[in-house]
Chains A and B, each alone.
Chain A
Amino acid sequence: MRPKVEFLTPELKQRIISEARELICKLGIEIHNDSVISLLSDHGAKVEGQRVYYTDDIIDKSLESTPDSFKLYDSMGKEAVDLSGYKVNYTPGSAAINILDSNTGKSRKPTSADYVRYTQLMTGMRHVASQSTAMVPVDVHERISDSYRLYLSLMFCEKPVVTGTFTIEAFEIMKDLQLAVRGSKEALAAKPLTVFSCCPTSPLKWSDVTSQNVVDCARYSIPVEYISMPLSGFMAPVTLVGSIVQHTAETLSGLAITQLTNPGAPVLWGGSPAIFDLRYETTPMGAIGTMMIDCAYNEIGKHFGIPTQAYIGLSDAKMLDAQAGLETSMGATLAALAGINNISGPGMLDFESCFSLEKLVVDNEICGMTHRLVRGIEPKNDFPSLPHFEELLREGHLLISDHTRKHVRDEIYFPGPTIDRANRSRWEEEGSLTIGERARSEVTRLLTEAEPVRLSNDVKNEMTRLITTEANKLGMDKLPALE
C-alpha cells in the first residue's frame, strides 16, 4: 500500500471546483493580452474590455484535452522524470535573488560562476531528478539573465530543467537553445527537456508577459506549470478552502489558454500559494497552512487527472539551521505522501529568495528519505517467517543471510555523509562537525567529481553562439568567465 495523505472529501472537492468554475464564468478573468483575449473569445467567451468570461464549454474542452501524464528527458534523451499518478520527483527551488555564500555564511547576489557550481552539483543530487534555473546571476545583462541561466544549465548538467522567462522576447532564445539540443521542433515535443513556470496574478488576472508565455510554450508543446499564488488573508480569502477555490479558478483559467492554443499540450497543475503572515508582512513557504493548501490543490489536480507541482519542501530560515531542516522535511514529507508529482523546493531559503548549495545537499537526503517513505511497507520474501527466525536462532544474527543481502539496499535507506549516524566517539574523532560543515565538504567533494556534459561540441558551440549573439545585441562583447 502506498501511504497517502488526503485533506479533501469528495464532496468538498466537487464544491470547490463548482465554485471556482462559477468565479471564472460569472466574475471573469482579467487578461492583459489581446491575442489571448481573442483566442478565448473565438471559443465563445464573452469579453468586456480586458475581462473575459469563461464558459463551461471552454473549461470542459480544456480539461478533456489535457494529458494525464508526461515525462521529461535529459539532454542526452534519456527518461529522467515521470509525471504521472502518485509518482514523486524533486526539483530545486527556482529563481533565487541571492545565494548563501559558502565561505562567509552571508547572503549575496549570485554570479555566473556560482551558477555553474550549482548546476554541476546537481548532477550528484541522486534524489533530485531535474535541475531548475535556481538563481539569477547578476553579472550578465538583465535582459538575458533568464536565458543565460538556461544556457548554463544545459552546458553543465544533463538533467532536464524547470525554468521560466522574465519577458516575452526571451522565450525565443530559450526555445532555440532547446532546439539546439534536440535537433528539431518535433524531437523536442516528443521528448520535453524543460518545464516553464507561468504565473497568473492573484486575484484572477493574467499579465501580458505570462499569458503570452503560456501560448508560446503551448505552440512548441513545451510543458508549462501554472503558478497561482493566492496569499491567504491578503490577496485571497483567509480560509484554506477559500484560497483553494481561488487557486482552482486561476489554474483552470490558464489551462484553457494552453489547451485552446494546442489541445493536448502537456501541463502541470502547479502553484506557490502561501498564507500571509499579518505580523511580519511576509509569505511563509514553511507555514503549515501553506503546505496544507499545496497538498489540497494537488488533490484537485488529481481529481481532474492532471499531473501536479508545488513549491513545498523549502524554508523561510536565513541559514542552514534547525528551522531550515524542520520546514523542509515537513513540506517534503507531506508533499510525497500527497503524491505531488514535481516538488519544487530543495536548496531554497528565505521566502524563495535565497539559494544554498549546502542546503541542497542536505535536502537531497530529505528527498531520499521521502522516496523511501512512499514505497511503504510491503512483504519481501517475509512469509513464511519461520525459516528466517530458525536461521536467526541458529546463526545468532542475520548479517549475512541471503534475505538480508537481497533486500538490505532497497529496504533500508542509507543517507549520505551529511546525515550524522556515527556514535559520539567517532563523531568527535572525525572533528565534531556540524551538519553545515559536513554539507560543505560534500559540496566540495561532489564538485571535484563533476564530469563534462556529454552533448556534442557542435551542440555546445551552437548554444554558445545563440547566447553570445543575444549578449552582443545588448552591448556585452563577451560572456563572464566561468571558473
Chain B
Amino acid sequence: MELLQQISDQLEKGDTVKVAELTSQAIEQKLDTRIILDNGLIAGMAVVGKKFKAHDIFLPDVLLAARAMYAGLDLLKPLMIEEGIPTIGKVVIGTVQGDLHDIGKNLVGIMLKGAGFEVIDLGNDVTPEKFIDTAITEQADVIGLSALLTTTMPTMKKVVELAKERGIHGKTRIIIGGAPLSSEYAGDIGADAYCFDGIKAVECVKGFVGIN
C-alpha cells in the first residue's frame, strides 16, 4: 500500500496539503474507508506518538501532525457517516467545579484529539451534573476529569457517585488527572484510571475503546 504509507509519512511531517491530496487520491482509487483511516491516518499518528514518547520529536510536531491528520479525516468524514463507521471514540473532558486550572486539561484534550478521538471540552469550573448530562446525551465513551487543587479534588468523587446514580458507571469510563491525584485516589473514589500526562491519557483511552 504505497499510497497509505505516503499518507502516513506526510502526516508525520505535518504536511496538511499533501495529506489532504493523498487522502483524496485514496478515496478516488476507491480504497476501503476503514483502511485509509486505520493504515494511513491512524497509523501515521501512532508513529508520531511513539516518537514523541521517545523524545525524538516535541509536542509542536505532534500538534502539526494532528492538524494534518484532520485534513485527511475531514475528507473521510462523509464516507464514514455513510458507511456507519463510528469515530474511534468520544471523550467528554473538563476541570471540576471550583477549579480554574485548565492548562493540563487542555493539553490532554489536544492530545486525545490528535490521536483521533472526538473531544467535547466543557471548560473549567464544571459541575458534576454537567459532566454526566453531557456524557449521556453525547453517548461518550470516556469522561475525563481534571483537578489541580487539594480543595477541589473531592468533587471528583461526586461525579463518580452521580455516574452510578444515573446508571452509566462502568459503561462510560472515568479517568482523572492533575497534580494532587494518584492511582490510589482513583481506586478509592471508583474512577477507572488515573493518568499522569497526555501520553498516558491517550494510551489509556485507546485501551478502553479497544485500540492498541
Q: Is B179's CB under 8 angstroms from A279's CB?
A: no
In the assembled complex, the Cα of A279 lies from the Cα of B199 at a distance in Å of 10
In the complex, the answer to whether A97 meets B180 with C-beta atoms within 8 Å is yes
Candidates B100, B103, B150, B154; contact of A97 at CB < 8 Å: B150
Task: Report the Cα distance A281→B177, complex, angstroms.
Answer: 13
Q: Within the complex, what minimum Cβ distance (angstroms) separates A380 from chain B?
A: 48
Chain B 79-102 per-residue mask, 1 if CB under 8 angstroms from chain A, else 0: 000000000000000000010100
Assess whether A279 is in contact with B58, with CB atoms less than 8 Å apart: yes
Q: Is the CB of B35 closer than 8 A to any CB of chain A?
A: no
Q: Is A351 on the interface with B (CB-CB < 8 A)? A: yes
In the complex, whether A6 has a CB less than 8 A from a CB of chain B is: no
Question: Within residues 57 to 100 of chain A, which ones have a CB less than 8 A from any CB in chain B?
Answer: 97-98
Least Cβ distance of A338 to chain B in Å? 27
Find out whether the CB atom of B55 lies under 8 angstroms from the CB atom of A353.
Answer: no
Inter-subunit contact B103/A166 (CB<8 Å): no
Q: Find chain B residues with CB under 8 A from A143 CB.
A: 151
Minimum CB–CB distance from B140 to chain A (whole Å) comes to 23
* Bound: A146/B107 CA distance, A: 28
Contact with A along B146-166 (1 / 0, CB 8 A): 000111101000000000000
Any A CB within 8 A of the CB of B197: yes
Report whether A166 and B59 are in contact in the complex, using a CB–CB cutoff of 8 Å: no
- Contact present for A351 and B179 (CB under 8 Å): yes
Q: In the complex, which range does the number of interface residues on chain B fall in?
A: 10 to 19
Q: Does B60 contact A (CB under 8 A)?
A: yes
Say which size band chain A's interface belongs to. 20 to 34
Are B150 and A109 in contact (CB-based, < 8 A)? yes
Residues of A within 8 A of B149 (CB): 166
- Quick check: A201 and B150 within 8 Å, CB to CB? no
Whether A145 contacts B151 in the complex (CB less than 8 A), given A201-B100, A351-B179, comes out as: yes
Please name all residues of chain A whose beta carbon is closer than 8 Å to the beta carbon of B150 when the two chains form the complex.
97, 109, 136, 138, 142, 145
Shortest CB–CB separation between residue B142 and chain A, in angstroms?
A: 19
A330-359 CB mask vs B (1 if < 8 Å, else 0) is 000000000000000000000101000000
Contacts of B100 in A (CB 8 A): 201, 207, 209
Contact with B along A273-288 (1 / 0, CB 8 A): 0000011110000000
A354's closest neighbor in chain B, by CB? B179
Assess A281 versus B197: contact at CB under 8 Å? Given A142-B150, A143-B151: yes
B198 within 8 A of A: yes
Query: Is A231 engaged at the interface, CB distance under 8 Å to the other chain?
Result: yes
Q: Is A235's CB within 8 Å of the partner chain B?
A: yes
Question: Shortest distance in angstroms between B17's beta carbon and chain A's nearest beta carbon?
Answer: 25
Assess the A353–B179 pair: CB atoms within 8 A.
yes
* Given known contacts A207-B100, A234-B103, A235-B103, A136 and B58 CB-to-CB distance under 8 angstroms: no
Give per-residue flags for A179-220: 1 if the beta carbon is below 8 A from chain B beta carbons, else 0.
000000000000000000000010000010100000000000
List A residues 227-271 near B (Cβ within 8 Å). 231, 234-235
User: What chain A residues lie within 8 Å of B59 (beta carbons)?
Assistant: 278-279, 281
A145-B60 Cα distance, complex, nearest whole Å: 38
A-B contact pairs, 11 of them (CB 8 A): A97-B179, A143-B151, A146-B151, A166-B149, A167-B98, A234-B103, A234-B107, A278-B59, A278-B60, A281-B198, A351-B179
- Top 8 closest A-B pairs, CB basis? A142-B151, A278-B59, A278-B58, A136-B150, A97-B180, A281-B197, A279-B55, A353-B179
Which B residues are within 8 Å of any A CB, using their own CB? 55, 58-60, 98, 100, 103-104, 107, 149-152, 154, 179-180, 197-199
Additional A-B contact list (16), CB under 8 Å, known A209-B100, A353-B179? A97-B180, A109-B150, A109-B180, A136-B150, A138-B150, A142-B151, A145-B151, A234-B107, A278-B59, A279-B55, A279-B58, A279-B59, A281-B59, A281-B197, A281-B198, A353-B180
